[in-house]
Structure 1
Amino acid sequence: MSAAPTLARPTSPARPRIFAATFVSEIAVGAHVGGVGALIALLAQDFDLPISHFAILGSFLGVGMVLFSLLSKWLMEATAGMVLKASSTMVMLGAIGLAFAPWANLAIASGLSVALGTSLVILIVPSVLAGPNRARDIALANGASSAASIASPLLYGLFASLPLLEGRWAALMLAFPALYVMVTIRNVDFVHTPSAFAERRAGRKGKRRRDLADAFGKVPSVKAFGGAKNVADDELARAAVASSAQSVHVSSFHDAPSEHLPKASKRERRQIKVGLLRVALSLVAEFALYTWGVARLLDIGVPNATAATLGAVFPLGMAAGRLSAGVLIRWRYIFHASVAGAMLGTIIIGTGTSAVVVVVGLLVAGMGNALLYPITVDDLVAQPSLSPNRAAALSALAGGVVVFAMPLVLAWMQNFLTLGHSLLLLFPVTLVLFLLPNGRKN
């Protein structure tokens, strides 16, 4: 174990700041993910181009997730502070470009910058929030992300509805959390206090210093669907984190020495592959609707500003579904109910012809899809022949591939089908997810 006295340094700020910076950085993640559909619609209107021209903006987060999953071993050799600063810089530059770029391709490049920056946040947050309070801290950070994902489409819609403003100017909201993070962490010593827990305890023998997390009161730990041993409370399911006050966690596609497990049998290897497929399928509908939900509203004749505002409904359903986990997490049929909600919502969205009907579909689909990814990742982590560390890295890679591919696949499908009919294809995808075995013995 690391020696406690090495944690404190005179350069550390008097008040812990790591949690506050991490909490606020998640706001940019949520605002980007929740608002990308509205942003795509507004950019298409501004540049007088089809929505499909900007569909790749919905895929860039997947690019970052895959890229940084593959490079994490080397990226994590830097301090968390360096990663957060790089992330904030990319998000700020990208936000300015999205708001003011005079050319469509420059706006797309700016979207890539934002997506790469938010992907770095996703990579670093579980490590920075490592320690005994990890479940509470990650739950709070995810709450900030969920709230931002609901608010961002509303802000895009508000800007689009005001006569003196352009809707895409609302993309500047992404820059403010990044600027806050840059200012907040400028004097934080991430070498000797690599996590929020370590910073709270730095220089203290029995007591800890209070920080922003204490303003929210007690938050119960979120237990996994397979039991307390497994981890399913992280929105992006980085299932393994480091012990606090030690080096930052290094994701790897191989087991750590301390996690070495016996060689998997042929049957176990097959189930791991099936588990990864389930993880990937669980994200298909979620990210397809994040990107194309607003476009579906435009498709049935809803005005741009109104459609951008109503785009908040799907993230709202996702947030409501995740909040329900605390109550429904031990319900035997939670996976069945989630699949049913996801499929029902898909049918309503694909066949609806009025704004009210499609909005209801987006809400139902959001609630149904909310728990599919955490459940499937937890099933994967529960495999006896797979360590949590390796499961986390593989899940991030599988998820990144889907997040990248789905918006582009739907754009391509519209060469042959209407948008509504394209979205109906999400139904059989979710059905396949339901039929695949979860690999649990009980």
Structure 2
Amino acid sequence: MDFADTDRAPAAARAPASSGRGTLALYATFGCLGYLLTALGAVLPELREERGLPRAEAALYPSAFALGLVVVGLVGHRLAVWLGRYALPAALTALVGGAALLATGGGRLGTAAGALVLGLGGAGLVQLVPAALRAAHQGDGTIQIGQANAVSSAASVLSPIIIGVTLAHDLGWRAAFAIPPALLAVITLLSLTRTPAPSTTPTTPDTPATPAPPRGFWARWVDLVLAVGVEFCMVFWAADFLRSVKESGAGTATTLSAAFVLGMAVGRAAAGPAVRFGGRPDRLLAFAALVGIAGFAILWTSPAPVAVAGLLVTGLGVALLYPVILGQALAAWPSQPVRAAARCALASGVAIGVAPLVLGTLADLTTLRAAVFVAPALLAVLLVRCGWRLRAASWLSPSR
């Protein structure tokens, strides 16, 4: 999932400043988010083993994160206006505070509460940071938003590596999970709180009567649920799969699970040229889904060293799905960009909350080796939907 400028969030997010320091601070917030998002998946096997949890219950922690995304998608706009210049610092504080609570909270309830608070903070950053970058750069922060996502991708690759190294040296996972983003957040908060107070006027006023979303938007909404579901099944369960099915050591499995997010980072770095030269969006999506399925086949059938290459290839394919589908969804409802973006955020929340939980539940009922087929099954459904649309378009083509 890319943290793109999808929602023209409230001007309460307007920030920093056009100063370089303010922009770097915003980049750092996305770095914290990217780090913790993949770190949550990296520590799931450890949480499960420490507390003797079934996989279905461990999957509730990602679901708590997703609940935060849904809550902010529903009420975040109003909350950001109310908090004004403190909206960004509050979201970042919630993010790292939730991480600390997850790492240190006693018992299952404390851990789940930490995941929920982490999700609330992370969703707030997804809503606020792109708008803040646009405001800081006179309404056109496209380059800066891309750079912020690059920072997030780099951090998402680092977290499983760092956690894996600490596990391999019997240092536990808690310090590696919580301390790096907390230190970065402290430095960032010092910069954010010194910036001028932003405006709290929403950029897009609510309208009393809003037309229903067009049918084409809902078709892309379903595609978005499928794509994000695949992505987070892999993010949250790759380390456990390498550890339990491929029989890698705890530290090694966690470190090597970074191959998926590395593939995602590389794939999204090439997203621009791929979109320009890929032809019809559905053709590009179908190709990306096929690459993801091929990568999964390598992952599932190969021994541990080669399976990691399968994770990398899967990440390369899945990387293109979210940005392409999101662009098509927003284009399908151009008259209501804010509401369209909010519905897309809810799609992400539904996918993150449901798909990893279904995978974990199936793993308890069968085996993890069988349950991971949830991911390629979602890709196959997306592939069929793209094929159907391409076929329909060819039948409607004037050349026929």
The interval holding the TM-score normalised by the smaller chain is: 0.7 to 0.9
Is residue 86 of structure 2 the alignment partner of residue 88 of structure 1? no
Is residue 59 of structure 2 the alignment partner of residue 113 of structure 1? no
Letter in 1 for 2:234: L
Corresponding position of 1:404:
353
Letter in 1 for 2:161: L
Structure 1 runs not aligned, ≥5 long: 1-11, 195-246
Matched residue SS, 1:302 = coil
Does the aligned pair in 2 maintain the 1:317–1:367 contact within 8 Å? Answer: yes
Note the C-alpha offset of 1:92: 2.9
Does the aligned pair in 1 maintain the 2:36–2:99 contact within 8 Å? Answer: no
* Residues 412 and 185 of structure 1: CA distance in aligned 2, closer, same or farther (over 3 Å): same
* Residues 166 and 392 of structure 1: CA distance in aligned 2, closer, same or farther (over 3 Å): same
Aligned 1:16-415 pairs, distance under 5 A: 17-79=21-83, 81-130=85-134, 131-163=138-170, 165-172=171-178, 173-191=180-198, 247-249=201-203, 269-300=214-245, 301-330=247-276, 331-332=278-279, 333-349=283-299, 351-352=300-301, 354-383=303-332, 386-415=335-364
Give, in whole Å, the separation in 1 of the partners of 2:334 and 2:53. Answer: 50
Give, in whole Å, the separation in 2 of the partners of 1:293 and 1:55. Answer: 13
Give, in whole Å, the separation in 1 of the partners of 2:123 and 2:116. Answer: 10
Corresponding position of 1:201:
none
Matched residue SS, 1:76 = helix
User: TM-score normalised to the size of structure 1?
Assistant: 0.76
Note the C-alpha offset of 1:353: 5.0
Note the C-alpha offset of 1:362: 1.1
Note the C-alpha offset of 1:128: 0.6
Percent of counterpart pairs with the same letter? 28
Is residue 363 of structure 2 the alignment partner of residue 417 of structure 1? no
Letter in 1 for 2:293: M
Matched residue SS, 1:169 = helix
Give, in whole Å, the separation in 1 of the partners of 2:383 and 2:321. Answer: 10
Note the C-alpha offset of 1:107: 2.5
Give, in whole Å, the separation in 1 of the partners of 2:60 and 2:185. Answer: 23
Give, in whole Å, the separation in 2 of the partners of 1:412 and 1:376. Answer: 28
User: TM-score normalised to the size of structure 2?
Assistant: 0.83
Note the C-alpha offset of 1:88: 2.4
Does the aligned pair in 1 maintain the 2:292–2:316 contact within 8 Å? Answer: yes
* Residues 99 and 426 of structure 1: CA distance in aligned 2, closer, same or farther (over 3 Å): closer
Note the C-alpha offset of 1:378: 1.3
Give, in whole Å, the separation in 2 of the partners of 1:79 and 1:133. Answer: 24
Does the aligned pair in 1 maintain the 2:27–2:147 contact within 8 Å? Answer: yes
Note the C-alpha offset of 1:14: 11
Note the C-alpha offset of 1:113: 1.9
* Residues 385 and 115 of structure 1: CA distance in aligned 2, closer, same or farther (over 3 Å): closer
Q: When the two structures are aligned, how many residues end up with a matched partner? A: 367
Matched residue SS, 1:356 = helix
Note the C-alpha offset of 1:42: 2.1
Give, in whole Å, the separation in 1 of the partners of 2:36 and 2:301. Answer: 27
Note the C-alpha offset of 1:275: 1.8
Give, in whole Å, the separation in 1 of the partners of 2:142 and 2:374. Answer: 36
Matched residue SS, 1:166 = coil
Does the aligned pair in 2 maintain the 1:13–1:187 contact within 8 Å? Answer: no
Corresponding position of 2:5:
none
Give, in whole Å, the separation in 1 of the partners of 2:29 and 2:333. Answer: 34
Letter in 2 for 1:362: L
Does the aligned pair in 2 maintain the 1:62–1:404 contact within 8 Å? Answer: yes
Letter in 2 for 1:344: A
Does the aligned pair in 2 maintain the 1:24–1:181 contact within 8 Å? Answer: yes
Structure 2 runs not aligned, ≥5 long: 1-15
Note the C-alpha offset of 1:13: 8.6
Give, in whole Å, the separation in 2 of the partners of 1:135 and 1:362. Answer: 30
Give, in whole Å, the separation in 2 of the partners of 1:317 and 1:80. Answer: 37
Letter in 2 for 1:318: M
Note the C-alpha offset of 1:159: 1.2
Give, in whole Å, the separation in 2 of the partners of 1:344 and 1:398. Answer: 26
